[in-house]
Structure 1
Amino acid sequence: MATIYEVSKLAGVSLATVSRVLNNNTPVKEETRLKVLAAMEELGYQPNSVAQSLASNRSNSIGILVPELNGPFFGTLLSDIENSFRQAGKHVIIAAGHSDEKLEKESISFLQSRNCDALILHVEAVTDEYLVELMEKKVKFVLINRFVPQLYDRCITLNNQHGGYLATRHMLEHGHQNIGYISGPIWKHDAEQRYKGHLRALTEFGIPHSEQLFYEGDYHEESGALGTKALLQKASEITAIVCANDEMAAGALTAARELGRSLPDGLSIIGFDNVNFSHYTFPKLTTINYPMGEMGKMAAQLILKRVYQQNNSSIQTVFEPHLIERDSVSRP
């Protein structure tokens, strides 16, 4: 098996230069880098990642914790984060916390035990105090879709309240007044903020809020269907339903058709997220764009900048949603 010494000799460079090329943490002339890579290929050299980790005190791996691994939302987020790190010569280790405090803490401990250089956390159940304690323990991490004041400089967030406001305002501007709302689990910060935005739009247009027009879902398609049926049973005069994410909106579209409602003339529906399938529902789903991929890339860029000193671009920490108008909303 070839050694780093043989690579150094064949390439005609020092051991330190070979190490810099392997670790990709210090600039090396392109001509020199290509010489080292050619020597490695000719000798069939495979770097020992454990030895590299011990020598550099870096594993070149980043832990990512998300609530779940299924569904279109987190697939896009994970794909864009992984791609950003792969282009920088880093690898990712992924875990799921299932929105459960115990499991989120266990997953964070697992990722730390894998000697990850930093963590990207999309967590919902652990407390702000726990996250502040992680910071005080010098754990390097970035939060996505959550704002903790003490951790403001490591939070990548979406203005969820404005997104909820835009969705309901769009319905109101189309003349709807009897608007049902299907939320995510209201204990989750993003669900709460989107609902607050919904209420703000109603207030702005002078429409009173009614508990009969509210249904708490779980962000999954089935709860969108169940919520639609429950809302229309309680208040058949509803002409529009605002859903707190696209998966529930897809369930709402299916349930409305099963109940004989024409879409969108008999019932208008709007979602939130702009996941990939929203282009292909029937009718095509009007929704609020959540730039989850861009936020994931930004979280990766923040880690590359602060942990690996590989990125000098400016960091955007707050993202704004915007309306994507398609075919699922019309005048009542």
Structure 2
Amino acid sequence: MATIYEVSKLAGVSLATVSRVMNNNARVSEDTRKKVEKAMKDLGYRPNSIAQSLASNRTNSIGILVSELNGPFFGQMMAAIEQAFRKVNKHVVITTGHSEKDKEKDGIEFLISRNCDAIIAHVEALSDDYLIELNKGKTPIYLMSRHVQGLEEKCVSLDNELGGYLATKAALDKGHKDIAYITGPQFKADACNRLLGHKRALAEFNIPFDQHLLYIGDFKETGGSEGLEHFIDNKLSFSAVICANDEMASGAIKYAREHGYHLPNDLSIIGFDNISFASYLYPTLTTIDNPIYEMGKVAAQLILKDVYQQKADDLQRVFKPKLIERQSLKQR
């Protein structure tokens, strides 16, 4: 079986040049590319990933660290990243951090130990200082749904404060004044920023924030159902419930319907993320679009540009959310 060294010798080029041809690197002239491809064909050479790695100091693998493997949010993100890399013959290695500091550290160290060329991380428990220090190492880390000052060029994020504002403003514009809010865990930056946006919208309409109408959920269906149960059991007055993500909104919808509420006549519910099932709930869910698929594509394109030197246009790093109005929000 022919080797990469034989291809190099027959083509009269270096091992690094052969590797660049195999990796579709743009820094190879067309004449050189044809010469290497002809040598590969004449020798019957089939590229071997280990040989490519040895010659180029690249493994053509990218690590992905996410909080969970289940759920449509991370599914969309991982699908976008994997598809972008598969098109250029690169592969992903996936692990989880479960939003816990030690597990997120373990996940990143595992991906580094696998010699990934770069890492895309959706981390929530690790500090900004830790991530800044981590990026001084040889393996570049790109952050999803996270903005860290000093790492702006490696962050792909959503303006969550604006999203929280838009959700609450939508309810206020429909005449709702007593608005309950189910937030996510407060160690998560996106949950905190969405809550800040909620408070900004209330202030804009001269409605004081009521701590009694706030429930800290878990970003899962249970958080939505338990939050709504809490408000009802405490006999609080409210005509709308805003949930900091769609999974909690689906839990709230299920609990409301099981307890005799006619939606949206008795209660309006708003979510956040616009994940795939939002338009299949009953009633269909008014929500805030979080373009996680597009954000995943951008994270992949940043790595292709920075790590693999592929050409790319200017890439958007901060995305703007928008309101998706459906049937679950009704005029008061």
Question: TM-score under structure 1 normalisation?
Answer: 0.92
User: How far 1:278 sits from its partner (Å)?
Assistant: 0.5
**2:209 counterpart residue number:** 209
**1:241 counterpart residue number:** 241
**2:272 counterpart residue number:** 272
**2:133 counterpart residue number:** 133
Decide whether the 8 Å contact of 1:212 with 1:234 is kept in 2.
no
**1:290 counterpart residue number:** 290
| Distance 1:35-1:59 versus aligned 2 partners, 3 A rule | closer
CA distance in 2: counterparts of 1:24 and 1:271, whole angstroms: 43
User: How far 1:51 sits from its partner (Å)?
Assistant: 2.0
**1:300 counterpart residue number:** 300
Aligned ranges for residues 150-161 of structure 1 at < 5 Å? 150-161=150-161
Asked if residue 20 in structure 1 is aligned to residue 7 in structure 2, the reply is no
User: How far 1:212 sits from its partner (Å)?
Assistant: 1.5
Query: Which shifted more, 45-54 or 117-126?
Result: 45-54
**2:191 counterpart residue number:** 191
User: How far 1:249 sits from its partner (Å)?
Assistant: 0.5
Residue-by-residue CA offset, 1:90-122 (whole Å, 9 max, x unaligned): 111111000010011111110001111111111
Structure 2 counterpart SS, 1:215: strand
Which residue identity does 1:94 align to in structure 2?
A: I
**2:55 counterpart residue number:** 55
Aligned ranges for residues 10-159 of structure 1 at < 5 Å? 13-14=11-12, 18-26=18-26, 27=28, 29=30, 36=37, 43=44, 45-159=45-159
Residue-by-residue CA offset, 1:127-163 (whole Å, 9 max, x unaligned): 1111111122343111111111121221111100000
CA distance in 2: counterparts of 1:209 and 1:37, whole angstroms: 71
| Distance 1:152-1:6 versus aligned 2 partners, 3 A rule | closer
CA distance in 1: counterparts of 2:320 and 2:221, whole angstroms: 25
CA distance in 2: counterparts of 1:87 and 1:6, whole angstroms: 28
Aligned ranges for residues 245-264 of structure 1 at < 5 Å? 245-264=245-264
Which residue identity does 1:65 align to in structure 2?
A: L
Which residue identity does 2:37 align to in structure 1?
A: V
Structure 2 counterpart SS, 1:133: helix
Decide whether the 8 Å contact of 2:222 with 2:251 is kept in 1.
yes
**1:329 counterpart residue number:** 329
Which residue identity does 1:84 align to in structure 2?
A: A
Decide whether the 8 Å contact of 2:119 with 2:141 is kept in 1.
yes
Query: Which shifted more, 150-159 or 188-197?
Result: 150-159
CA distance in 2: counterparts of 1:162 and 1:37, whole angstroms: 55
Question: Structure 1: which 5+ runs fail to align?
Answer: none
Structure 1 vs Structure 2: percent identity of aligned residues?
53
Residue-by-residue CA offset, 1:20-50 (whole Å, 9 max, x unaligned): 332222346499669939965994x442212
User: How far 1:125 sits from its partner (Å)?
Assistant: 0.7
| Distance 1:269-1:4 versus aligned 2 partners, 3 A rule | same
Decide whether the 8 Å contact of 1:232 with 1:238 is kept in 2.
no
Question: TM-score under structure 2 normalisation?
Answer: 0.92
User: How far 1:63 sits from its partner (Å)?
Assistant: 0.7
CA distance in 2: counterparts of 1:93 and 1:30, whole angstroms: 35
CA distance in 2: counterparts of 1:37 and 1:233, whole angstroms: 76
| Distance 1:64-1:78 versus aligned 2 partners, 3 A rule | same
CA distance in 1: counterparts of 2:35 and 2:55, whole angstroms: 23
User: How far 1:326 sits from its partner (Å)?
Assistant: 0.9
Report how many aligned residue pairs link the two structures. 329
Structure 2 counterpart SS, 1:84: helix
Decide whether the 8 Å contact of 1:4 with 1:15 is kept in 2.
no
User: How far 1:246 sits from its partner (Å)?
Assistant: 0.4
Question: Structure 2: which 5+ runs fail to align?
Answer: none
| Distance 1:54-1:42 versus aligned 2 partners, 3 A rule | closer
**1:318 counterpart residue number:** 318
Query: Which shifted more, 249-258 or 48-57?
Result: 48-57
CA distance in 2: counterparts of 1:160 and 1:328, whole angstroms: 21
| Distance 1:255-1:299 versus aligned 2 partners, 3 A rule | same
User: How far 1:7 sits from its partner (Å)?
Assistant: 6.5
